[in-house]
Chain A
Amino acid sequence: MEASTENKALRQSEERLRLMIEGIKDYAIIRLDPDGRVAGWNIGAQRIKGYTAQEIIGRHFSCFYPEELVRNGFPDTALAEAAAKGRFENEGWRVRKDGSQFWANAVISAIRDASGQLLGFVKVTRDLTEHKCAEQALEERDRFFDLSRDLICLATFDGNFKTLNTAWERTLGFTREELMTRPFLEFIHPDDIPASRAEVEHLQQGRETVNLENRFRCRDGSWRWFSWNACAVVPQRLIYATGRDITQRKRAQEEITKLHADLQQRAAQLEMANQELEAFSYSVSHDLRAPLRHIDGFVKLLARDAGEKLDERGRRYLDIIADSARQMGMLIDDLLVFSRMSRSELRHARVSLDALVHEAIHGLEGETNGRPIHWKIASLPEVEADPAMLRQVWVNLIANAVKYSRPRNPAEIEIGCDRDNGEFVFFVRDNGVGFDMQYAHKLFGVFQRLHRPEEFEGTGIGLANVRRIIHRHGGRTWAEGKRDGGATFFFSLPRSATEMKG
């Protein structure tokens, strides 16, 4: 009777304990048999894992673990360790009935009877997902700051760093401790301190800093440029700042500034060279002509005063001297025209090339009169160009065609235009004496001639002028020819006025 009363009391006590355990909601308290099959299940377990007691009792507890842990034999290891040491604790992802995962802290304890026989295990699991997420959020935030290439910091109003991201260490080379133990102004370039100090004062008054540029010292003694954005939380006496490393940009800027200065210097030098050239051609115009006049003048005076005393040969010498002086005078004049062509400003106007060509041919009547010349002249477009200079081009090219076709009967001269991509290509073709293509590159040079003066007169400046003028209009010049097989001179002009150079 007594024993039965005692037994009853014990059963009642066990029953209360069971109800208490089953009623706990915040912990999953699971009883496992020695093989790991679920033998007991509380409300907390149902709430956390999603299974009812009927669904889970008798199933192996490995269904609570993600597949890869099961594959690795983790659940068995855990049981073995709990059996060996009495207790096994760990944290990790676990799987609910619906397949979703939660972060769990679990403790597995072995249960043994008085003789030490293993009766099974109790597994107590807590759901720490929220805690874990908060932890992860913190980690993400820290990573966010530490992965930033920008320097991010909190600094106090009294001038010290409070928090730094790792970009500080990476960029400047100082350790966090080195940075934190000194006022931040000590790292700033002496020349930038006044502006930086003023900016800190503005921040303390609640004004924002936008793109303040200054230099910070690196551990190796070099300086890096940063552009700072910052604001202050005045009640907490804290400055939040981010700085972008703009050293590269600054160097590029310095390079550009230097190049710009160089360019200006070059332009000034060029300007000076031009002025010198101007002075040079002025001096050529004045000083070189004077002695020629003197030679000619005194030769004439000599001929007048002493001509009768000279024999035929002597008088011929005087003629040669005078003729040479005249020749040189022409060269000088041509050179001056050429230099003027290069220097004088282009005056742009709408020019009818038909009209220019006819004017040019008309102007050459002195040379063409009485000569058999077959003209073949195509209709030419209007272009935007300097009329006087372009007239010079046509005069030179047509005069050449007339001159070098002199031995032909009849001479044939063709003038035309091809409309190419974006440009006009004009040409003047003759059936004259032509030239050897191996000397074609010399044609447009100053004072370059392919014929002896006694064959064809001229100083060799005409085509040089043509080239100079066409280049200044943004075009090109070239020629094709054959010895004794005629010649064609081409020049191009860009079709749009905007492509022309001044």
Chain B
Amino acid sequence: MAPLKRILLVVDNERDVELTLAALEELNLANEVVVARDGAEAMDYLHRRGNFTDHANGLPVVVLLDLKMPRVDGLEVLRQMRGDDTLKRVPVVMITSSREEQDLVKSYQLGVNAYVVKPVDFQKFVESVKQIGFFWAIINEPPPGSVKRAH
């Protein structure tokens, strides 16, 4: 059985994955991350189906969600999660390039927990990702049913 990961990172672009992991490395959180490359894969992981039938029961402490992705986009993942009894309490943070007001408004309407616009400057990006990781994976007490931190 695959080890449980505490952070679900849903990003389609592999360079974004690499940069995000590079940032989380600085907090030693990189190996707590499982990556889904689009919304459909993310939902498969959360529902333990498709390629993800073999991981143990347990919800991530946070889902880091990109907005624009092929197949099922970030807003759709959020909508499905908020409509699902087991998933609706899982914290979701949008990490996106979009400053568009419509995306911001829709995300909050669907119940996002935080909305972060990725800075172009890498230093600032690293800072943002570190703060997000630090807060949601270390400071914040996740809802019951979430994967426990290995001590």
Contacts and interface: CB of A to CB of B under 8 A. Distances in A.
A173 interface: no
B97 A285 contact: yes
Nearest to A300: B122
Interface stretch (A139-147, A288-296, A350-358, A404-412): A288-296
Interface string A314-325: 000000001001
A290 B22 contact: no
Given A290-B13, A301-B22, A296 B121 contact: yes
A286 B40 CA distance: 20
A294 B98 contact: no
Contacts of A325: 120
Contacts of A74: none
Contact of A293 (B67, B97, B99): B97
Nearest to A281: B100
B121 A294 contact: no
Given A290-B16, A301-B22, A296 B122 contact: yes
B123 A289 contact: no
B98 A293 contact: no
B97 A290 contact: yes
A153 interface: no
B121 to A, nearest CB: 6
Given A294-B16, A301-B22, A286 B97 contact: yes
A205 to B, nearest CB: 63
Contact of A294 (B19, B68, B119): B19
Contacts of B19: 293-294, 297-298, 301
B123 A326 contact: no
Nearest to B19: A297
A329 B68 CA distance: 19
23 contacts: A285-B99, A286-B96, A286-B97, A286-B98, A289-B97, A290-B13, A290-B15, A290-B16, A290-B97, A293-B19, A293-B97, A293-B125, A294-B16, A297-B22, A297-B122, A298-B19, A299-B122, A301-B122, A322-B122, A326-B120, A329-B120, A329-B121, A336-B99
Interface residues of A, number: 20
Contacts of A301: 19, 22, 122
Contacts of B122: 293, 296-297, 299-301, 322
Nearest to B15: A294
A30 B62 CA distance: 134
Contacts of A286: 67-68, 96-98
B118 A293 contact: yes
Interface string A297-314: 111110000000000000
Interface of A is mostly: helix
Contacts of B100: 282, 285
B122 to A, nearest CB: 4
Interface of B is mostly: loop
A285 B121 CA distance: 15
B16 to A, nearest CB: 7
Contacts of B22: 297, 301
Contacts of B15: 290, 294, 297-298
A335 B146 CA distance: 42
Nearest to B99: A285
Nearest to A296: B122
Interface string B7-44: 00000010110010010000000000000000000000
Contacts of B125: 293, 296-297
A293 B68 CA distance: 16
A459 to B, nearest CB: 14
A289 B67 contact: no
B12 to A, nearest CB: 10
A48 to B, nearest CB: 102
A171 B68 CA distance: 69
B98 A282 contact: yes
B120 A289 contact: yes
B17 to A, nearest CB: 11
Given A287-B68, A289-B118, A293-B97, 4 more contacts: A286-B96, A293-B125, A300-B122, A300-B126
B123 A300 contact: yes
Interface in B76-105: 96-100
Nearest to A337: B99
Nearest to B96: A286
Interface in A197-221: none
Interface in A262-293: 282, 285-287, 289-290, 292-293
B99 A296 contact: no
6 tightest A-B contacts by CB?
A329-B120, A300-B122, A297-B122, A297-B19, A289-B97, A296-B122
B80 to A, nearest CB: 21
Contacts of A293: 16, 19, 97, 118-120, 122, 125
B68 to A, nearest CB: 5
A285 B98 contact: yes
A321 B122 CA distance: 13
Contacts of B118: 289, 293
